[in-house]
Amino acid sequence: MLDGSARFHAEKAYKDSKLCNLLMARELERRLREQGTPVPVLAWSPGLVIPRSDGGFFRYSRRQNPVAQALFALVARDLLRLTETPQRAGALLAGLATASEPAPIGFQYWSNRVLGPGRRRFEASEPSAEACSDQLARQLWDLSAQQLALAPEQGFAQQQAID
């Protein structure tokens, strides 16, 4: 969808944006480490968050198919209890940001894994094979730099100075 050749699909765009977040975080960590500035870089996923309000991930899908989205929310959120509340999702992120032990140097991905109805475990996880692709991470970084009119070969510190 990035080049405009495919029709927009909210769910695909959401999944692609999650993949891009992981790729950019991994590439940022790699570039900083190679420049002699290793730092912790965290990416996280709170799991499926379906608020009771009209906002959130499903706000566009609800307009297209309100009955199916209401049914999905009822089953996933209320019957199977596979989702997080926006408040709990925020608390998970706050916990990562304020942990008493600093995160180790390097890239870490945290996800809220579903163990069963009403049971989830927030833990360090291994991203998908696609999210671990160094080639995809570099390509995304270069495309992003291109969109910002930056030379792809520029290092992070040089790009930061331009900003």
Looking at the domain assignment, is residue 94 inside a domain?
yes
* Average pLDDT rounded to a whole number, residues 6-26: 87
The better pLDDT of the pair 6, 39 is held by 39
Whether the pLDDT of residue 98 is over 80: the answer is yes
Looking at the domain assignment, is residue 36 inside a domain?
yes
Residue 22 has what pLDDT?
A: 96
Q: What is the CATH number of the domain that holds 146?
A: 3.40.50.720
Question: Domain span at residue 41?
Answer: 10-49+84-162
pLDDT, tens only, 49-66? 888 877 665 666 667 777
CB under 8 A, 24+ apart: contacts of 133-140: 133/23, 134/26, 134/30, 136/23, 137/23, 137/24, 137/26, 137/27, 137/30, 138/27, 140/20, 140/23, 140/24, 140/27
Looking at the domain assignment, is residue 113 inside a domain?
yes
Looking at the domain assignment, is residue 77 inside a domain?
no
Looking at the domain assignment, is residue 60 inside a domain?
no
Looking at the domain assignment, is residue 55 inside a domain?
no
Phi then psi dihedrals of residue 118, to 5 deg? 75, 5
Q: Which of 29, 58, 60 is nearest to 42 (CA)?
A: 29
Residue 156 has what pLDDT?
A: 55
Looking at the domain assignment, is residue 2 inside a domain?
no
d(CA 107, CA 22): 10
pTM: 0.78
Looking at the domain assignment, is residue 91 inside a domain?
yes
| Domain count of the fold of the chain | 1
